Amino acid sequence: MHQPEIRHIHLAETTSTNTHARQIEQGDELLLVTADHQTAGRGQRGNTWESAPGANLLFTLALRPHELPASRQFLLCEYISVVLCQVLSRYVSDIHIKWPNDIYHRDHKLCGILIEHDLEGPHLSRTLIGVGLNVNQSAFVSDAPNPISLRQILGHEVDRTELLAAICHAFAHPTELTDTALDAATLHAHYTALLYRLGVPATYRDAQGTFTATLHHVEPDGRLILLDELGTLRSYLFKEVAYII
């Protein structure tokens, strides 16, 4: 997954960095679109993303993973999640991935990721990885249940430019994430080890209601496997199950 040089476009304001990135003609270079403020920032499940202007990191990484079959697209979800955890762990401890790709500090959401793919036959032609990372916001006023920022954790502001540079460097240099070759199996192992509530009994909700289960593992295609109290393995695709926090 070695990437060429990054082409960076910065905006004072936009609707969302994913939307803006989609409108830009792109070759095989890695495109980075950043914004100080989004007027229509999007999260998963159709939610909006709260961010005070100029306080946080709002960006999209656009790439053309031509060699990656659409059936293996979850590798990109794993990759950006591991990259963010690796960089954020330099600032704070207790960083985990809440399946499939929210980044948590303990029981609070520090970062959200929205990934959109374009297909060309059986392969991916373009991927947009939108990231909203709470950096220097001091208070949250939306009805989001559990946001937190690095400033709230650390008690001081963080240099957003340095943090973004570290994330982009880690993303563009995958061999630095691990001492061994970063093949699919190694990446999946790193992702699994970082999972929030891995092996811990917790409450979940699906179409049939709430239940207690243990996060058993995540399949390479992204399916979440929970082990319930009756010893039954339950398999879920994204949006089919929710964590109760």
Is the pLDDT assigned to residue 57 strictly greater than 80? yes
Task: Report the largest interatomic distance among the alpha carbons of the chain, rounded to a whole angstrom.
Answer: 53
Q: Does 49 score more than 80 pLDDT?
A: no
Domains and CATH numbers, the chain: 6-193 (3.30.930.10), 201-243 (2.30.30)
Count of Cβ atoms closer than 10 Å to residue 66 Cβ? 11
The CA distance from 138 to 16, in Å, is: 22
> 45-59, 76-90, 136-150, 195-209: which range is least confident on average?
45-59
Amino acid at 202: A
Mean pLDDT, residues 220-232 taken together: 97
Name the pTM for this structure: 0.92
DSSP summary character for residue 109: E
Task: Quote the CA–CA distance of 136 and 60 in Å, as a whole number.
Answer: 19
Higher pLDDT, 22 or 177: 22
pLDDT score for 176: 64
pLDDT score recorded for residue 1: 43
Q: Write out the DSSP string of 190-234.
A: HHHHTBTTBT-EEEEEETTEEEEEEEEEE-TTS-EEEEETTS-EE
Q: Is the pLDDT of residue 70 over 80?
A: yes
What pLDDT, on a 0 to 100 scale, did the predictor assign at position 53? Answer: 85
Residue 142: predicted pLDDT:
78
d(CA 214, CA 203): 9
> Under DSSP, is residue 25 helix (H, G, I), strand (E, B) or coil?
coil
